[in-house]
Amino acid sequence: MKRILTLIALLLAMFSSTLNFSQIDFMYGPGYGARVLFVADGDTITVRHGKRKEKIRLYGIDCPEKLQEYGLQARLLTAKLTTDQIVSVIPVHKDRYGRLVAYIILPDGSNLNYKLVCEGSAWWYRDYAKKDLQFATRELFARGQRRGLWSGDDPLPPWDFRKGVSLNSSREDSRRLF
């Protein structure tokens, strides 16, 4: 059964990776270019757009926290892919902290948000991106391949880590896919 799920995830990931980002552009607009100045953690970056700096929270994902297992790896991957690069920022909305929440398109045209999930460096943040099933496909693929945070038996989602949920408590919500 695990092999079948992995095969399905691989096929879905291959199919969805061939899609261009015009749907994102259509839904949210074409975005704008900005230089990445700083990576706070795996899902939060600071960019320079024109003369101003802007803190951006990556849409649809939640990376492990800095002090959490795989938190440093997520930050390092985001930094490797973005630091001092000109990226395309596709705004979605502002969060309750005033940060811009956005998709980030890398110079090679790939979507950073999707890439982090596919590499096992982030969870699909279902509560905030229910309609973007590209995240579901990529998370299923990463789980099936036991990539990154999925290499462990029972990874603790960052939303539980922030609440102080212990490793032994039930985390059924983090295991479900839909």
What's the pLDDT at 82?
A: 98
Contact 157, 171 (CB under 8 A): yes
pLDDT tops 80 at residue 96: yes
pLDDT tops 90 at residue 57: yes
Confidence of residue 62 (pLDDT cuts 50, 70, 90): very high
What's the pLDDT at 66?
A: 92
Which residue of the set 35, 48, 54, 99 is catalytic? 99
pLDDT tops 60 at residue 176: no
Burial label for 141, CB within 10 Å (0-12, 13-18, 19+), is buried
- Catalytic annotation on 96? no
- Find all residues with CB under 8 Å of 136, minimum gap 6, and list them: 124, 177, 178
Burial label for 48, CB within 10 Å (0-12, 13-18, 19+), is middle
Which comes out higher in pLDDT, residue 130 or 115?
A: 115
Strands 52-58 and 100-105: parallel
Helices (H), 18-122: 22-28, 71-82, 112-118
What's the pLDDT at 123?
A: 97
Q: State the chain's maximal CA–CA distance in angstroms.
A: 53
- Catalytic annotation on 146? no
Confidence of residue 6 (pLDDT cuts 50, 70, 90): low
pLDDT (tens digit per residue) in 24-51: 554 556 789 999 999 999 999 999 999 9
Whole domain around residue 125: which residue ranges?
Answer: 2-175
Contact 24, 103 (CB under 8 A): yes
Pairwise CA distance, residues 177 & 47, whole Å: 32
- Catalytic annotation on 119? no
What's the pLDDT at 178?
A: 46
Residue keyed to tokens 């839909």: 178
What's the pLDDT at 152?
A: 87
| CATH value at residue 103 | 2.40.50.90
For residues 50-87, one letter each, b for 16 or more C-beta atoms within 10 angstroms of the residue's C-beta and e for the rest, the string is eeeebebbbbbbbbbbeebebbebbbebbbebbeebeb
pTM: 0.80
Domain count, the chain: 1
Which comes out higher in pLDDT, residue 91 or 19?
A: 91
